[in-house]
Amino acid sequence: TMTDNDEGKMVADTVQELKLRNHYFNKDFAILYRTNAQSRSFEEALRRMGIAYRIYGGMSFYQRKEVKDFIAYLRVIVNTQDEEALKRIINYPARGIGKTTVDKAVLFANENNLTLWQVFSNAAMYGFRSGTLESIDNFVTTIKMFQSELAKKNAYDLAIIVGKSTGIVKELFNDKTTEGLARYENVQELLNSIKEFTETPMNEEDGEVGEKDLGTYLQQIVLLTDTEDKNNEDADVVVLMTIHAAKGLEFPVVFVGGLEETLFPNAMSINTREELEEERRLFYVAITRAKTRLYLSFANARYRFGQLQQNEPSRFLEEIPADHIDKRYAGGNARNNATTGWGAGSAFERMHRGFGGGSQQQAAPPQKRSVISNIPTRPQVKEHVPSENFTPSNLDNLQAGQKVEHQKFGFGEVKKMEGAAHNPIATIHFEMNGEKKIMLNYAKLRIVE
């Protein structure tokens, strides 16, 4: 099933293809969406392909304050010596530990050759006022409680505990202003992305689950979080923006993403005819931003509140005359579909005909920098040569005790089945490579007996 991450990859692939085949520049493309939080999947896909972009009239997803605040908590849990993150969260949400206290703690740390965390952990020794001392102690206890869960919880489950225990999610939810709603949606989108990380294999070719802990997640997103926004108005960059911000602007090629019921039209804007008409006007604004090519996309499934929810295509798609649409549906596993690169079960609806297959070349992604030193390296895999008659089996009824052959890991026995119905996971003991968790949605397995 195609998710919003697949949608992002599909858009980035198409941008790259059009640049190569039709000689477009980055600045010829615009990606439009209904809400700010939707930018994440497009940003990640563009970044991984090395395509320069800019958020028009705003900040990139991982530079938004509420996202950086939440990630700072996760960084401190994994590494208490991360002083930038520690300073960011020591008084967020507000707990009576102001700048004067932090400056005092930094001074103590420098004078005694200690880390800031060591000062906070032994705050009673440094003469803080009783009220401040209690707040510091409570903060340290909270972080240590989170750390005690590191080995037991995956990244998503621990992030949920952080969001609830700190009161961050509740505080954002209670802010009913337009800005408050946007901040809440951004944090929910961050949590959704962490959930998707825990349900996606580290290596999509072989389906191996790999580590899903918080440290591994933070290492994966480091390239997305360590780049400051560059506000170069004239640069050759793909422009991302909300539809509201796009009024009055035009681009040769426009992508409109997230065309799903409850998202566009927005779930909160379909209660009255007037609200729905305003959404329809917004849709008209979106599709009329394109000078030459218009691409409309939707995800068949999208993570919301930690659940993978199935979506219906937007009613607005049905209102476009059929003779103006060139539909393309792709089935099967998008990750193994090298011919087209379209997301699984997806639809890209194109208002302009004549778009061929073409080869897809991708810019080499930047090398990852390791920032968390205690993440174990993965052992070398002993490569297996598949049997001559190797054909992947239907795995819908795979059970513990069955013998299987994996195209990469070799022969093994299923020891346990777990995971959600939409994302089953098999624990398999392989003769050559030991025990591994395999996501059946991605793996190529042949049932031997």
Q: Give residue-wise pLDDT tens across range 7-55.
A: 999 999 999 999 999 999 999 999 999 999 999 999 999 998 999 999 9
Reported pTM? 0.71
Of 173, 182, 155, 174, nearest to 67 by C-alpha is: 182
Of 328, 319, 325, 318, nearest to 348 by C-alpha is: 328
Read off the pLDDT of residues 423-436 as tens digits, 9 standing for 90 and up. Answer: 688 899 998 888 88
Residue pair 239/43 in contact (Cβ under 8 Å)? The answer is no
For residue 185, the tally of other CB atoms under 10 A from its CB is 16
Average pLDDT over residues 331-348: 33
- The answer on pLDDT for 376 being more than 50 is no
- The answer on pLDDT for 265 being more than 60 is yes
- The answer on pLDDT for 364 being more than 60 is no
Residue whose structure tokens are 């290492």: 219
pLDDT value, residue 385: 80
| Residue 162 confidence class, pLDDT cut points 50, 70, 90 | very high
The size of the chain, in residues, is: 449
Give the residue with greater pLDDT, 308 vs 159.
159
Chain CA centroid to CA 12, Å: 15
- The answer on pLDDT for 337 being more than 90 is no
pLDDT value, residue 346: 37
How far CA 344 is from CA of 188, 334, 341, in Å, comes to: 24, 5, 9
Burial readout 279-291 (b: 16 or more C-beta within 10 A, e: otherwise) = beebbebbbebbe
Average pLDDT over residues 165-173: 95
Kind of pairing, strands 346-350 and 326-330? antiparallel
- The answer on pLDDT for 333 being more than 60 is no
Mean pLDDT lowest for which of 113-117, 236-240, 407-411, 442-446?
442-446
Residue pair 235/54 in contact (Cβ under 8 Å)? The answer is yes
| Residue 339 confidence class, pLDDT cut points 50, 70, 90 | very low
Average pLDDT over residues 381-399: 81
Average pLDDT over residues 70-99: 94
Average pLDDT of the residues of the chain = 82
Three-state SS letters, the chain = CCCHHHHHHHHHHHHHHHHHHHCCCHHHEEEEECCHHHHHHHHHHHHHCCCCEEECCCCCHHHCHHHHHHHHHHHHHHCCCCHHHHHHHCCCCCCCCCHHHHHHHHHHHHHCCCCHHHHHHCHHHHCCCHHHHHHHHHHHHHHHHHHHCCCCCCHHHHHHHHHHHHCHHHHHHHCCCHHHHHHHHHHHHHHHHHHHHHCCCCECCCCECCCCCHHHHHHHCHHHHCCCCCCCCCCCCEEEEECHHHCCCCEEEEEECCCECEECCEHHHCCCHHHHHHHHHHHHHHHCCEEEEEEEEECCEEEECCEEEECCECHHHHCCCHHHCEEEEECCCHHHCCCCCCCCCEEEEECCCCCCCCCCCCCCCCCCCCCCCCCCCCCCCCCCCCCCCCCCCCCCCCCCCCEEEECCCEEEEEEEEECCCCCCEEEEEECCCEEEEEECCCCCEEECC
Residue 12: CB partners within 8 Å, gap ≥ 6? 42, 45, 46, 48, 49, 51
Average pLDDT over residues 288-301: 93
Task: Name the range with the highest mean pLDDT among 282-296, 339-353, 383-397.
Answer: 282-296
CA–CA separation, 163 and 151 (whole Å) = 18
pLDDT value, residue 208: 64
- The answer on pLDDT for 340 being more than 70 is no
Average pLDDT over residues 410-430: 85
Read off the pLDDT of residues 47-59 as tens digits, 9 standing for 90 and up. Answer: 989 999 999 988 9
CA–CA separation, 82 and 75 (whole Å) = 7
Beta bridge partners of 290: 251
Give the residue with greater pLDDT, 76 vs 381.
76
pLDDT value, residue 328: 64
| Residue 373 confidence class, pLDDT cut points 50, 70, 90 | very low
- The answer on pLDDT for 266 being more than 90 is no
pLDDT value, residue 365: 37
Read off the pLDDT of residues 221-249 as tens digits, 9 standing for 90 and up. Answer: 876 776 555 555 558 999 999 999 999 99
